[in-house]
Amino acid sequence: MKPSTFLRRGVALALIGAAACEAPTTSQSPLSPSAAARAVAPSTSDEVVAVSPILQQMNAQLAAAKSNIRIDRAQLLYSSNGINAQKATLLLANDRSRGIGIEWVPGDPRRSGRIGVTYAFGSNTGVAPFTRDANGGNVRQLTTAEQDAKIEQAVAAWRALSCLSAPITRVPVPAGTDPDYLDEFFRGNPAGSPNYAQPADIVEAGWQPPGFFNAIAGPDGDFIIGITFTFYFTDGAGNPTDIDRNGKADAALAEIFYNAGFYFGDRASNSVDFFSILAHETGHGLGLGHFGKLFITKPGAADGIQLSDIKFAPFALMNAAYVIPNVIQGTDNSQFCQIWASR
């Protein structure tokens, strides 16, 4: 199996929006780091238009099945390779709301009374991400054990924060079950898998082929690096519940998927960074939203945007941008603690 077009793109910058093996081969050569640094995120309204019809279809299916959960949103981690800005200041993101409006309820009886959350890593697809050396050689796919270690590293970073007062516990995927609900939907089987069984509150569903993401967003799916779907509980009328009366919907499930159409590495200029992406998406699964202001100040950007052109206020792992921060920053910590302290 040869890397697809997008496996050949060593993306150094990816802007993130808020709101899923065989790969095609190509003769396209890898992008240079400077070219790969060019990126743009669609506006929030565009993301809603692109993704919401699919969410509506899935929610209609859940309602028909008499399920007590619905999908609230999909948080997309987008990458693109071009931007033209003709304004002196281009505002790319200005996120000031902490959280996503949905939180895990401590002691929720619909989740067996858990104070914290559980998570599981698994998928029924068997797709693995590619990695390579800094010089572009030694291309190989990661083993399941290596993928597992990367997921654990991302979860452990959040679990290690001192303000956490509830457990984040790993649980196994029962043998013979399909742990991710949405994979079948986006792979052309809306009826779902007969072996589906939700194993945990947060399902790290691993890597999917590029076609999975095209099914979500059409051609723009080529530029989705990762995506987190958050579900909430509903009442008998299909409305979001708020049993702890905190003004936020009650979280029921989060499923996280990563695009195997990109090379993944560790702080490598020719790959997307494992920790920065996995920890960011896991943060969404834990209830964190994007935070911070992202903008560009230059007279014109027809020549493309470089990393040095991007300004952050403040710089954080949960910014609406990915530039390999590789560590949880101050505002990430405070946002997490606002949700998870004193539970």
pLDDT in tens, 116-141: 999 999 988 889 999 998 888 899 99
- Phi, then psi, of 110 in degrees rounded to 5: -75, -10
Q: For residue 207, give the nearest of 293, 125, 318 by alpha carbon.
A: 125
d(CA 141, CA 128): 6
H helix intervals, the chain = 33-36, 44-64, 144-159, 182-186, 210-217, 274-285, 330-340
| Prediction pTM value | 0.79
DSSP 3: -
Residue whose C-alpha is closest to residue 263's, from 253, 252, 250, 272 = 272
Please state, in angstroms and as integers, the Cα–Cα distance from residue 295 to each residue in 17, 43, 194, 329, following that order: 14, 13, 46, 19
Structure tokens at 207: 């890597």
Condensed to tens digits (0 to 9), the pLDDT of residues 284-330 reads 999 998 876 666 666 555 555 555 666 666 778 887 766 677 789 88
**What is the reported pLDDT for 303?**
57
Residue 212: name the closest of 187, 181, 184 by CA: 187
Show the domains of the chain with their CATH numbers.
5-340 (3.40.390.10)
Sign of the alpha-carbon dihedral angle for 26, 29, 31, 33: positive
Q: How many helices (H) and strands (E) does the chain have?
A: 7, 16
Q: Which residues pair with 342 in a beta bridge?
A: none
| Tokens standing for residue 42 | 């669609």
Say which amino acid occupies 4: S
pLDDT, one tens digit for every residue, the chain (343 residues): 223 332 222 222 333 332 222 222 222 222 222 222 222 223 333 333 344 567 777 778 788 888 888 877 666 555 433 334 334 454 445 556 667 889 999 999 999 999 999 999 998 888 999 999 888 889 999 999 999 999 999 999 999 999 999 999 999 999 999 999 998 888 888 778 899 999 999 999 999 999 998 888 888 788 788 889 999 999 999 999 999 999 999 999 999 999 999 999 988 878 889 999 999 999 999 999 887 666 666 655 555 555 566 666 677 888 776 667 778 988 899 999 999 998 8
Query: The tokens of 294 are what?
Result: 């992202």
Residue 45 contacts residue 304 (beta carbons within 8 Å): no
Nearest to 333 by CA among 105, 100, 157, 118: 157
Can you give the pLDDT at residue 14?
36
What's the confidence (pLDDT) of residue 100?
83
Q: Residue 322: beta bridge partners? A: 14
Distance CA 138, CA 134 (A): 9
Find out whether 119 and 202 touch, Cβ atoms under 8 Å: yes
